[in-house]
Amino acid sequence: MNYVVDQSLKKVAKGTGIVFIGMFIGKAIGLFSRIFIARNFTKTEYGIYSLALVLFSIFVTVSTLGLKEGTARQISYFRVRDKVKVRGIIISSLQIAIVASLLLSAILFLLSNIISDNVFHSPRLSKPLKIVSIAIFFSGLIYILTSIFRGFDRVDVKAYFEDILRNGLFLFSLIFIILFNLSFIVVIYAFTASFIITWIAYTFYAMRSPLPIKIEKSLAISPVGKELFFFSIPLLSILMLNMILMWGDNLLLGYFKTPAEVGLYNSAYPLAVLITFILSSTGFIYLPIASHLYSKNLIEEIGRTYQILTKWMFSASLPIFFVLFLFPESVLNFLFGPDYISASLVLRILTLGFMIDVFLGLNGHSLVVFGKTKLLMFICLAGALTNIILNIILIPPFGIEGAALASAFSYFTLNLLTSIKLYQLTNIHPFSKNNLKPIGISIILLILIYIVSSFINIKFWSLPIILIIYLLGYFILLLLTKSFDKEDIRLMLALEKRLGLNVTPIKKILKKFI
């Protein structure tokens, strides 16, 4: 078992490193873009941008019909067994995506006035929705191309095109818009243009790659395509329900309150989501690798890989959680300005909810690996209904804080149900002894630093110093409590080789405490 787990961890380390860097750059650029918009336009305009982005994301998710996950899983599962079938999966996924993306693009364009006037009572939202509807077609095809490459363990292209190129184009456009004092609507045009340019570059790259990527002239779906479609439809339901979890608070805030409050809420939300980008980058490569292990019936090896990765994800996410949870006022004031400090409690609530998601977050990926997509769909339905009901109850009296509470509790409910079912079906869980120790250590350190900081006026510039002290204390306590496993050393070796670092002194220290 150790050899198989080691090889899986090496693959994850290699892929996660690439996706992590790409997602980190993409998230950073995306955050800078939001900050630029929030600081240079009104709170209402930032709220309109946020609502347009939410609706765009929902329509794009529907347009992919679950193929974003289904294509990657099916290619990874069949690529050794049946190469002809893999070719059929690729062709069919592109055919389906083209038709669905065109249809959803047209629907949003035609419904933009109704959505703006009757749902959000904001006529200014209509034109931005019409503009972003054009980007749906290009975005849907970008995601399908990424899914195809992902099925062959090619995760680097996501970093290059989705994360860096697309976000970089938009940020560059924003700088130009702000320098020349252009109107807000130009921001929306720039957003759409960034997807079109990325799609052109991505398509050119894909056609020149050695993978069998091509589009048949006939739009008739083959039997392989029908199988892919019916496998992916439950995944679409899962993605849609997850979209409700992600964006339900924004949509209901827009319905019950004003675009200005949506803008205020969206100063905290994208910061809190930063906690999950390590989970997202790990899960992106974990799914095809675990699917490959499952095709060989290596269940125990999947479980051990799950536990080791959970510990690393949790520890790696702690620095972001530490800063955002303990010092939300300083962060919001520095990044978005004093007008957004009132979202501090929202940021604290959301960071706690997303940290729970990080610790349990590979559970949903694992159910997809085992083909339990219908089960996951019903679990996500429970989480989405919880989110909607709580938002309806909490937003009218409590506003943005109520939306944050609804989201945090919904994520907790979703992860709890998913973890219970995963354990019942496979005996896989993240709760090894050495996984629970870091949680206890982090809670103790957070309480101590919070007590000390309450007597000191903390400035933003001092946060890096406090963070370093926290991380040193965390690492020392991990050593003293012997919270490391042999697999941690092997994963570190894989990262060392991949990144070209020399961590020999750290490895020598760890070996003494295993």
pLDDT digits (tens, 9 = 90+) for 431-480: 776 667 777 888 888 888 877 777 777 666 677 777 788 778 777 777 77
Would you call 91 helix, strand, or coil by DSSP? helix
pLDDT digits (tens, 9 = 90+) for 11-62: 555 555 666 677 778 888 988 999 999 999 998 999 999 999 989 998 998 8
- What is the reported pLDDT for 458? 67
Report the sign of the C-alpha dihedral through residues 149, 152, 158, 159, in that order. negative
pLDDT digits (tens, 9 = 90+) for 210-234: 665 555 555 455 666 667 766 677 7
Enumerate the H helices of 65-183 as residue ranges: 67-78, 83-114, 126-151, 156-157, 166-179
Question: Please, which pLDDT band fits residue 484 given cuts at 50, 70 and 90?
Answer: low
Q: Residues 365, 287: contact at Cβ < 8 Å?
A: yes
C-beta neighbour count of 348 within 10 angstroms: 20
Rounded to whole angstroms, the Cα distance separating 378 from 65 reads 17
Tokens describing residue 130: 């019409």
Identify which of 90-94, 190-194, 200-204, 245-249 has the greatest average pLDDT.
190-194
Q: What is the mean pLDDT of residues 284-298?
A: 74
Tokens describing residue 26: 């993409």
Enumerate the H helices of 152-222 as residue ranges: 156-157, 166-179, 184-207
Does 329 or 309 have the greater pLDDT score? 329
Residue 499 has pLDDT above 50, yes or no: no
Q: Which residues contact 492 (CB under 8 A, 6 or more apart)?
A: 503, 506, 507, 510
- What is the reported pLDDT for 216? 52
Enter the pTM of the model: 0.75
Rounded to whole angstroms, the Cα distance separating 194 from 192 reads 5
Rounded to whole angstroms, the Cα distance separating 104 from 434 reads 47
Does 513 or 326 have the greater pLDDT score? 326
C-beta neighbour count of 165 within 10 angstroms: 19
Residue 7 has pLDDT above 50, yes or no: yes
Ranges of each domain in the chain: 11-431
Radius of gyration from C-alpha coordinates of the chain: 23
pLDDT digits (tens, 9 = 90+) for 116-145: 999 888 899 999 999 999 999 999 899 889
Which residue has tokens 């799609």?
199
Q: What is the mean pLDDT of residues 143-153?
A: 83
- What is the reported pLDDT for 124? 93
Single-letter amino acid, residue 263: G
Which residue has tokens 């490959």?
292
Residue 6 has pLDDT above 60, yes or no: no
Rounded to whole angstroms, the Cα distance separating 371 from 367 reads 6
Does 328 or 318 have the greater pLDDT score? 328
Rounded to whole angstroms, the Cα distance separating 145 from 84 reads 18
Average pLDDT, the chain: 81
Q: Residues 390, 405: contact at Cβ < 8 Å?
A: yes
Q: Residues 396, 340: contact at Cβ < 8 Å?
A: no
